[in-house]
Structure 1
Amino acid sequence: MSEEFLKVARAAREAAAELAPLPRAPKDRALRAVADALVARTAEIVEANAKDVEQAREQGTSEAMIDRLRLDAARVAAVADAVRQVADLPDPVGEVVRGGTLPNGLELRQLRVPLGVIGIIYEGRPNVTVDAAALCLKSGNAVLLRGSSSAYASNTALVRVMQEALEGTEVPAGAVQLVPGRSRDSVKELMRARGLVDVLIPRGGASLINSVVEESTVPVIETGVGNCHVYVDADADLGLAVEILLNAKTQRPSVCNAAETFLVHADVAAAFLPRALAALAEAGVTVHGDERVARHGDVVPATEDDFRAEYLSLDIAAAVVDSLEDAVAHIRRYGSAHTDAIVTRSQQAARRFVALVDSAAVAVNASTRFTDGGEFGFGAEIGISTQKLHARGPMGLPELTSTKWVYTGEGHLRTSEGSVLARPDQG
């Protein structure tokens, strides 16, 4: 590993040890200082971001990706507000997960503790730099940030502002570090920093996530791509279904909880599809439909790749299915286990869909866009996990902790016959 990387990794390790035992109050004061500094230095941040946006345009980056990259005064203010919201959230560190008194008299508790040093590898969106740092600090963790080279100027400015804000607080400034370098080598260094980094969290497209999962020697919490579905059931309110579909696809198409496929029960296809296709076309959405969808309007013929796509754009795949079970089978085959929704007036169908769809989040008569830490009341999220170990769904503060067991006795000793007190006259 390069000396440059080792320097920041060791600094984060030292900071993590200082940060872990801090109570809530100094962490909250530090977060509010960070939020104030972001607002005060908005012009500096926006100026740095403009360089990244200009470079992205010169490289022919799509407008959807540029939207994810862009920061303006309003977005910086929103990022600062998210930091304040994190400060207002309960501190998970020290929370008793479970415990009690054992038959032998030992008092046993399982407590939440910080993970230590968390590495975040992410693409595009510079707001992740601040969101990740805020959540890690609140949960008592140091963080090593490795954003994409496309946001290097923005991330450098944001980390500089945060570090300088922390210098006047009890939280060590070294708890927030930007991984040096813009090449692939710096990513590999982070992925192989076992012993310096406790866990990695990748945020981005499938290729990034797969690369981190397959190549890292550091444990990984896998976040997933968002191939989210909206299923319109035979007993759906069709007007409501159109509204939900439009919101799920068009409210912000460049994010992972936007809908990328919609499925329609054959019994309502003739009534629903003309309305839905017209509404989507008016919103500028290109529909990639199967043959049965194409009977009801102008669509682009769908391929297998379309049904697997995370478009992150004003495109959506569509298919007609013959039953709720066929809809579930389609989701299992093509989906990413992120968020899938059903629109129905049937409680039986809703319960069946919820039971059968094995995704991190399942929505009933609601847009997929609600799968979000902020919407769930967690504050800013570190990512949305689609794995099944440790954390699943939007990852807030509790998901950035581990646990340790603490047991307290009165001179308890273990023997072959059971437990005894070293000094039975005491206690």
Structure 2
Amino acid sequence: MDLNQSGNGRQHFVDKLVAGVIKLFKLPAQTIQLISAKREARTASARFARTAHAPQLKAESVHCIFEAWPRLKEQVTAGGGLTDEKVIGDETQRNLFYRIKIETEHANRNNVTRTEAYRAVYFRCPELHWALFAHVISRNGGWNMTDLQGELLPRILSPKQIEANFELLERANALIFSDAYPQLLLYEAGKKAGRDYSHLLPQFGVSRFMVQVWAQFWRKKESPLLTTALIVNEQHFIEARIVRNSHYKRNVLDQPEFQLQAILQTNAVFMPYSATVTGEMKLAGLVLEDFSSLEERIEFGKRLYALLYGVPEVYEGVLAFVRAVQHSGSRADYAPHLFTAERKPGDNRRRKSYKQRLRGCSLIGGARPLYSPKLAEAWSDVLFEPAEPGDWVDWADDVQHFFRDLPLPPVFEITNEYCLGINKIELAVLAAEGIADKK
């Protein structure tokens, strides 16, 4: 199988691969599994929803933030947005500024250090819902990174595509952390000092929009509003720097392989909500259909937040998992019965033909768990390049419509569907090998 094709050749290969997966997945056994998984997902989600209470956004608080939007937009457009640290006159505040910058740089080394930093902040300040939310999302980012060096994806992606996909995942993860983590630390410092430091946010390159959000949070402590604002802010923050960036569009987002995400469901974000000591894997989450859509990414984030904080069984289970399991980047963190971080000596994934190992959420008798390396064994640290300057308020439309509600998704228990997603990737590998054998 030639994974280094270019242009029309690669598009043709992907088209045939998709057709092959669909054909294999329409076999009677797979069809029955899919129908059963979807039925079980709906049933379990409906049962959890009976005791769910989605976080609420207060209309009057939203109005207080957005009544200043026209003036804020004029100010940013006129050049009154991001400022320089030299304007900080107070020595205490200057010391705080440099301490937070150093701490952020230290924690922004890789996905594992970022994920742990979010977790630590949450346990120090549990009112910061976004810290736990970001921790869970960042775990998913790490698993996606190590998948690129794991058992399956190297069999259907070229080394060039693997590197390009990692570059995008790493840059997005690091960019969001560089913007969000100083906000969390600044709030924590203010909480200890008994004063509001939100006026210092622009010194860290944070959007002016977040200044009034944090100032209001300081007064009212409305966690759902702050979390929603951070979701909106961070997705706008990466929109121009990642999604519209010509480099990432050319090398990843516009590539034929990227369309495989929807078919193979590799763009799912899920939250383990069962302690691994029981040996039972339970996952709640959603599938992002269109990464290129800013609106879809924001609504996706809002639904995930509503799921995490609105369904007691999910929140309590996720919290137990987060407390018990240190993030390593390996999927063995949450499913040691399906994955292993230990690579079999002499294993060559590119030369050795693949044999299907999973049936539903179980290994076929005698099959070895799928290789899922720890992040440190899969990728070296990447030196973080500072974010390109600019405040998204300058180009964004009115974002108030994102603050109307926090809807709970109707179906969110995806344990069995997740396993079928792995089955699909296995079928993609088998289909790719079949295409190669016919050449």
- Do the structures match in fold with TM over 0.5? no
Larger Rg, first or second structure (1 or 2): 1
The TM-score with structure 1 as length reference comes to 0.27
The TM-score with structure 2 as length reference comes to 0.27
The structure showing larger relative contact order (alpha-carbon pairs under 8 Å, at least 6 residues apart) is 2
Q: Which of the two has greater strand per residue?
A: 1
Q: Which of the two has greater helix per residue?
A: 2
